[in-house]
Amino acid sequence: MDFSINSQQKEIVDLVKQIVDREIRPRAIDMDRSGKIPDELLQILVSSGVTSMAVPAAYGGPGLGVDTLGLLYEELGRGCAGVATVCAANALASYPVLIAGTEEQKKRFFDSVLSGRMAAFALTEPGAGSDAGAVSCRAEKTEGGYRLTGIKCFITNGPIADQIVVFANTRKTGGIRGLTVFLADSSMEGFSIGKIEDKMGIRASATSELIFDHCFVPEENRIGREGMGFRIAMETLDHSRAVVGAVSVGIAQAALEAAVIYAHQRKQFGVKVASFEMVQQMIADMAMETEAARALVQKACWMQEKEDPQSGVMAAMAKCLASDTAMKVSTTAVQVMGGNGYSKENQAEKYMRDAKVMQIYEGTNQIQRLVIANGVSY
């Protein structure tokens, strides 16, 4: 396995790094307070291609490999995990279209993303989180298509998405056999935005309920066959988990950098805090843990790029370890900074709040451990 960065990858990573350092990090605390990305920054992200990084070359995108995407999402995570989540949601919504969509659906979806429109992946419901088979949003067959009725919750990009990949059940009895995927549009009659979440972390990303009230979706907007939804959802999450791991590594890296800078500036008892042995031990542990998580994420991305049969299990490992690491490292960063780290004037406490959701969304780490345990072979 060769994890070295080639010249093309370096050029792309350097571009995103510049955007992160010049445009995202200086706005991170303000975005955390306001709960949204400023329009001017969103335009920068769109025009630079950051919101469309996962679009394949065949549909006008950059055609980046998963290994390159992992590096880019780590940089975005280092800048602001909320911004990274907004961009990653476009990629997440694209996977069902890539897996089972028609050529017409792919062209329509990716043309929309490339033009700067946002997308959302709508699977979660009030009664269906880890248990995708419990989806109760109904898709009732009618002349020319389906009528969707139900509520989705905790949907990233919900309030700003133009296209929504929504999972609904075509069987009255529910269960995974009826789970089906549809490509909905926010302009469709019967669709509305529900409660907008006031979240603990990743506050720059807009998250909301989506309400479908007999919302008509044409039959040509069904992605794949009826009943294919569960398989499509699982394949999608296998693709996306390594990205969550990459964003988590970015959070850990940002927290480590903040702790090191603080420890070399702050003085107690007449000497720099960085000279204290216990602080040195904390920083050493943070550095080792971050590098270990980075290596596992890079391996997961490399295996996914090579279409290795075990890439799904490796992605679960990467997501689980990296998000646990982000939580641990960011918490330690707050500890290194003491009272200053606990203040909202400092980004350390933001990193800690952002890190928590990495252990929860796109499959809780408890679910990841089940996936890993069931997938380990000897």
CATH of the domain at 81: 1.10.540.10
- DSSP-assigned states of every residue in 159-186: TTEEEEEEEEE-STT-SGGGEEEEEEET
- 37 and 47: one domain? yes
pLDDT of 173: 82
pLDDT of 150: 97
Average pLDDT over residues 217-237: 95
Q: Which of 87, 117, 147 finishes a domain? A: 117
Residues 6 or more apart in contact with residue 355 via CB below 8 angstroms: 81, 201, 248, 251, 252, 255, 323, 326, 327, 329, 330, 331
Q: Into how many domains does the chain fold?
A: 3
pLDDT of 1: 66
pLDDT at 378 over 70: no
- 251 and 350: one domain? yes
Residue 1 lies in a domain: no
Tell me the C-alpha to C-alpha distance, in Å, between residue 104 and each of 96, 108, 111, 213: 14, 6, 11, 26
The residue range of the domain holding 20 is 7-117
Q: Which of 117, 137, 170 finishes a domain? A: 117
Residue 2 lies in a domain: no
pTM: 0.95
pLDDT of 3: 66
Q: Residue 8's pLDDT band (boundaries 50, 70, 90)?
A: confident
pLDDT of 283: 98
Residue 353 lies in a domain: yes
- 254 and 326: one domain? yes
- 63 and 176: one domain? no
Residue 198 lies in a domain: yes
- 104 and 171: one domain? no
Model confidence over 345-359: pLDDT tens digits?
A: 889 999 999 999 999
- 281 and 191: one domain? no
CATH of the domain at 235: 1.20.140.10
- State percent of the chain over pLDDT 90: 89
Helices (H), the chain: 7-19, 28-34, 39-47, 66-79, 81-100, 103-114, 229-265, 277-305, 311-337, 339-342, 347-358, 365-375
- Of the residues 75, 125, 209, 362, only one is catalytic, namely 362
Model confidence over 67-106: pLDDT tens digits?
A: 999 999 999 999 999 999 999 999 999 999 999 999 999 9
Model confidence over 292-322: pLDDT tens digits?
A: 999 999 999 999 999 999 999 999 999 999 9
190 touches 212 (CB < 8 A): yes
- 105 and 164: one domain? no
- 67 and 201: one domain? no
pLDDT of 267: 86
Helices (H), 27-175: 28-34, 39-47, 66-79, 81-100, 103-114
Whether 277 is catalytic is no
Residue 181 lies in a domain: yes
- 223 and 265: one domain? no
- 192 and 97: one domain? no
CATH of the domain at 218: 2.40.110.10
Q: Which of 61, 92, 117 finishes a domain? A: 117
At 215 the three-state DSSP class reads strand
- Tell me which residue of 358, 319, 334 sits closest to 81, measured CA to CA: 358
- At which residue do the structure tokens 């490509």 appear? 183
- 24 and 79: one domain? yes
Beta partners for residue 146, in sequence order: 141, 217
- 203 and 249: one domain? no
